Amino acid sequence: MQLLRFLAISLILVLSVAAPARAITLLRDPDIEYALRELAAPILSAAGLSANRVDILVIDDPNLNAFVIDSDSMFIHSGLILRMKTPAMLQSVIAHEAAHIANGHLMRRPINARNARTAAGLGVALAVAAGAAAGSGEFAAGAAAGLQGAAMRSFFSHTRAEENAADQSGMRFMRGAGVDLNGSVEVMDIFRGQEALSVTRQDAYARTHPLSRDRYRLVRQLAGAQGAPPAPDPQANYWFARAKGKLSAFQRSPKWTLTRAGESGFEDVKLMRQAVAYHRQSDLRRALGAIDGAIARRPKDPYLHELRGQILMESRQIKPAVAAYARATNLAPNNPLILGSYGRALLANGQLAKAQQFLDKSRARDGRDPRVMRDLAVTYAKQGNNGMASVLTAERYAMIGRLKDAKIHAQRAIDLLPRGSAAWQRAQDVLSAAQDAEKRR
């Protein structure tokens, strides 16, 4: 987990034409993302969607919300995850958003879906999402996406008909996956009465997912019709405890975590949470003792080794961090976040060629991480390839909304790279995006 000032792996996607309040931080953690994928897999399968294709990413925001921006990307606010009390509640949120994808509710949206998986396209879509959910800042976010008036207002707001359809489809997916439908009722209980509030006082979820008494009655009826609820899934219980436990360990105070570390009933989750808390207290000895205890219980778990590497790396223990990340990479050789962390440690250890190898692999599997672009740029620059360093720097600046800087580095890359090459074309794309943004101001 890379969070706020404590961690080096946070990602801010915001366009320069949007207000600062529209900044969105993605919490990229391989452990939490894997846990969410495990919880989502049976739901997505029941929906006819691929669990390997749909990314479920966490937004650092205490407000309660979840949304989809295209058929491949689902976003859940950290506040919503922490509010969920059972796996079924979180799975009901995933099922509802999966229903919006499966039912084709995204087709009317004015941003081309194929662009939302790119770094720049994702930045635009998230800027619009922030404005739409906040109920303010519409002009800035709408201008960023090239939207006007009614198109902006409808970008993320589903109609009541869509919500009713998503409720029914989502609960059908839950039934097919063997998930207790009462999870949907319990989530709806959180948002009951929102329709009676003014828009500015409603939760973000209520603004983008219009609520009604009819919806609530329908959800209760569907849950009541299931008969005896299915038995809890031990695997779902475990991965829910792990995702929520690690997220809360990074977002709540270490003292709070240490007093509640064992509440899930899973010893390795308890030790993992203690490791995070001790690390945040700069107690390396206790942090390593706790994470090593968790690893002893799950020695082939790459995400525990990755956390060990993070603790060491952020404690400036570079060589041991390299070894921990190497072990994690051996266990999960295709995970882009682990590959990126390993490359970063190798770079810090002065192993430039090997660092480039793993950073390139990371970027090829997930091109939406500006940390990897930064580290790759440094690696290329240290090896004398200033053209590649410039294009990666341009892409990184474009992703975080510094389009003026992106334009400067894109032009520099164009001047240095072979005309017509793949990297040269990437620089041209950034330059075009920056120029288009200038025209919209």
Q: Is residue 158 in a domain?
A: yes
Q: Is residue 90 in a domain?
A: yes
Q: Is residue 305 in a domain?
A: no
The whole-number pLDDT of residue 314 equals 97
Q: Write out residues in the chain with pLDDT < 70, as ranges.
A: 1-24, 105-160, 193-212, 440-441
The whole-number pLDDT of residue 21 equals 41
Nearby residues of 74 by Cβ (< 8 Å), 6 or more positions away: 40, 54, 55, 56, 57, 66, 67, 68, 94, 97, 98, 101
Give how far Cα 144 sits from Cα of 14, 82, 122, 245, 357, Å. Answer: 10, 31, 12, 36, 35
The whole-number pLDDT of residue 217 equals 87
Q: Which helix (H) or strand (E) holds 73?
A: strand 73-77
The whole-number pLDDT of residue 440 equals 66
Number of domains in the chain: 1
The whole-number pLDDT of residue 365 equals 92
Query: What is the reported pTM?
Result: 0.84
pLDDT in tens, 340-368: 999 999 999 999 999 999 999 999 998 87
The DSSP code sequence of 204-228 is: HHHHHS---HHHHHHHHHHHHTT-S
The whole-number pLDDT of residue 198 equals 44
The whole-number pLDDT of residue 233 equals 95
pLDDT in tens, 205-227: 555 555 667 788 889 999 999 98
Contact 97, 105 (CB under 8 A): no
Question: Which DSSP symbol is given to 350?
Answer: T
The whole-number pLDDT of residue 139 equals 35
Nearby residues of 340 by Cβ (< 8 Å), 6 or more positions away: 358, 359, 362, 363, 366, 369, 371, 372, 375
Q: Is residue 277 in a domain?
A: no
The whole-number pLDDT of residue 403 equals 80
Q: Is residue 169 in a domain?
A: yes
The whole-number pLDDT of residue 379 equals 97
Rg (CA), the chain: 22
* Burial class, 30, CB count within 10 angstroms (exposed 0-12 / middle 13-18 / buried 19+): buried
Contact 37, 51 (CB under 8 A): yes
The whole-number pLDDT of residue 293 equals 98
The whole-number pLDDT of residue 222 equals 93
Q: Exposure pattern of 185-198 as b/e (b: 16+ CB <10 Å)?
A: bbbbebbeebeeee
Decide: helix, strand or coil at residue 349: coil
Q: What is the CATH number of the domain that holds 87?
A: 3.30.2010.10
For residue 344 the two structure tokens come to 């970063």
The whole-number pLDDT of residue 24 equals 64
The closest alpha carbon to 183, from 68, 39, 338, belongs to 39
The whole-number pLDDT of residue 19 equals 35
Q: Is residue 134 in a domain?
A: no
Instruction: Tell me how far apart the alpha carbons of residues 373 and 367 are, in angstroms, rounded to a whole number.
Output: 8
Q: Is residue 160 in a domain?
A: yes
Q: Is residue 369 in a domain?
A: no
For residue 287 the two structure tokens come to 């942090």
Domain that holds residue 122: 26-127+147-226
Instruction: Tell me how far apart the alpha carbons of residues 206 and 79 are, in angstroms, rounded to a whole number.
Output: 14
- Quickly count: other Cβ atoms within 10 Å of residue 217's Cβ: 11
The CA-CA-CA angle for residues 3, 118, 390, to 5°, reads: 80
Instruction: Tell me how far apart the alpha carbons of residues 363 and 392 are, in angstroms, rounded to a whole number.
Output: 11
